[in-house]
């Protein structure tokens, strides 16, 4: 399979667009800012302690209402590598668990901190935090969006293929998941071509599809939808698998396993993809359900690179948003 040619100037760290106040979803990043952020992450991965004095004395709050391995550890470590303190807080450790509003909590925390990261259920919680916060808010996962994961996905693909524009990807499984929605936006911003394969009842939000198609008219990407996983992976550079049962929907486990059984990423499905296609997974994985151990542990799988890239991308996000916020702050 022919790979796209690397984009010119891919190593430039310059930001040619406006850095947003907050990162609540991938669509908040203008394409130029997204590219610059990925380049910054690549530089930070090569020299992880090169920015240890850049935000010395600053602090980031990490509010977690959901369990976390990769997000929690990568954010805390990223803060450390920027010279920052990371204050990790569970809901029950805050007055949020005792009646204080999300907005009031954000107002107070943002008077102590230089950024807030929030891992929660309803996306509106992250939005309310951002509306009330005086410092940047980063969505560390909500039920609707997972921008931090998509940045790590893009960095893994960029490292493997040398470019993003023109790549063809297939997302196989629940098209309505937060990971799929964010990956769709990431493909739209970078000029990738995405095919989403999902069963009936697991479709992507039509508004997200419309927004992506509008962006793709400028980026040169495209998105299509099918119910046939074999059709989706034909010609794909990358095949994305994701856990079938979200952590907050255990009561749907039996139904979801039945509905999504055809969408397992295994050797049989990959036989329909090009021989050099890679496999993506955001982790954690349920081996034998959405992906087999043979594929997950095989040479074609980039899941472990994606996981590792959660650290430099988190570092780049914190540095970019906090530095931009400080530059916008009025002089006292």
177: CB partners within 8 A, 6+ apart: 242, 246
**93 against 202, higher pLDDT:** 202
Given CATH 3.50.50.60, say whether it is the number of domain 149-308: no
Kind of pairing, strands 168-172 and 59-64?
Answer: unpaired
Third-level CATH fold of 26-145+310-328: Rossmann fold (3.40.50)
| Sequence ranges of the domains in the chain | 26-145+310-328, 149-308
CA distances from 143 to 60, 122, 252, 309 (A): 22, 6, 15, 22
What mean pLDDT value characterizes the chain?
93
b/e code 95-121 from CB counts within 10 Å (16+ = b): ebeeeeebeebbeebbeebbbbbbbbe
Residue of 43, 63, 157 whose CA lies nearest to 110: 63
Q: How far is CA 24 from the centre of its chain?
A: 10
CA angle 202, 167, 193 (to 5 degrees): 40
Q: Which residue in the block uniquely carries the two structure tokens 């400080």?
A: 326
Tell me if 26-145+310-328 shares its fold with 149-308.
yes
pLDDT digits (tens, 9 = 90+) for 185-235: 999 999 999 999 999 999 999 999 999 999 999 999 999 999 999 999 999
The whole model's pTM is what?
0.93
How sure is the predictor about 4, in pLDDT bands with cuts at 50, 70 and 90? very low
Q: How far apart are CA 299 and CA 140, in angstroms?
A: 29
In angstroms, rounded to a whole number, what is the distance separating the alpha carbons of residues 328 and 314? 21
Query: Has residue 168 got a pLDDT over 90?
Result: yes
| Tokens found for residue 142 | 């909500």
Q: Sorting pLDDT into bands at 50, 70 and 90, what band is 48?
A: very high
Residue with token string 């990568």: 74
pLDDT at residue 9 greater than cutoff 70:
no
Q: What digits encode the pLDDT tens for the residues 13-26?
A: 445 469 999 999 99
Dump strand ranges (E) for the chain.
59-64, 85-90, 115-119, 137-141, 168-172, 193-197, 222-226, 238-241, 278-281
Cα–Cα separations (whole angstroms), residue 218 to 188, 214, 264, 272, 307: 9, 7, 33, 30, 30
Per-residue pLDDT reduced to its tens digit, 124-157: 999 999 999 999 999 999 999 999 999 999 999 9
* First vs last C-alpha separation in the chain: 58
Distance CA 101, CA 224 (A): 41
What is the rounded distance in angstroms from the CA atom of residue 210 to the CA atom of residue 318? 29
């Amino acid at each position: 399979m022919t790979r796209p040619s690397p984009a010119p100037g891919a190593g430039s760290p310059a930001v040619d667009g406006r850095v947003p106040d907050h990162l609540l979803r991938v669509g908040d990043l203008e394409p130029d800012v997204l590219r610059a952020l990925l380049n910054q992450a690549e530089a930070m991965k090569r020299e992880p302690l090169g920015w240890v004095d850049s935000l010395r004395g600053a602090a980031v709050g990490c509010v977690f209402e959901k369990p976390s391995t990769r997000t929690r550890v990568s954010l805390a470590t990223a803060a450390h590598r920027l010279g920052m303190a990371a204050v990790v807080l569970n809901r029950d450790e805050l007055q949020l668990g005792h009646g204080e509003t999300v907005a009031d909590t954000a107002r107070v925390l943002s008077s102590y901190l230089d950024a807030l990261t929030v891992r929660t259920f309803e996306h509106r919680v992250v939005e309310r935090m951002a509306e009330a916060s005086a410092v940047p808010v980063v969505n560390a996962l909500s039920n609707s969006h997972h921008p931090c994961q998509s940045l790590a996905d893009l960095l893994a693909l960029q490292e493997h293929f040398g470019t993003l524009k023109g790549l063809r990807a297939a997302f196989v499984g629940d098209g309505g998941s937060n990971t799929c929605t964010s990956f769709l936006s990431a493909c739209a911003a970078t000029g990738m071509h995405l095919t989403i394969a999902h069963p009936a009842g697991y479709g992507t939000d039509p508004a997200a599809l419309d927004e992506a198609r509008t962006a793709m008219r400028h980026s040169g990407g495209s998105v299509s939808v099918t119910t046939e996983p074999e059709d989706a992976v034909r010609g794909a550079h990358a095949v994305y698998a994701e856990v079938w049962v979200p952590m907050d929907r255990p009561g749907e486990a039996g139904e979801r396993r039945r509905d999504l059984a055809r969408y397992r990423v295994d050797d049989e499905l990959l036989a329909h993809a090009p021989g050099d296609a890679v496999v993506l997974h955001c982790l954690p994985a349920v081996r034998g359900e959405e992906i087999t151990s043979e594929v997950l542990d095989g040479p074609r799988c980039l899941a472990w690179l994606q996981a590792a890239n959660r650290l430099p991308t988190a570092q780049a996000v914190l540095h970019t948003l906090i530095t931009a916020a400080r530059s916008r702050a009025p002089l006292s």
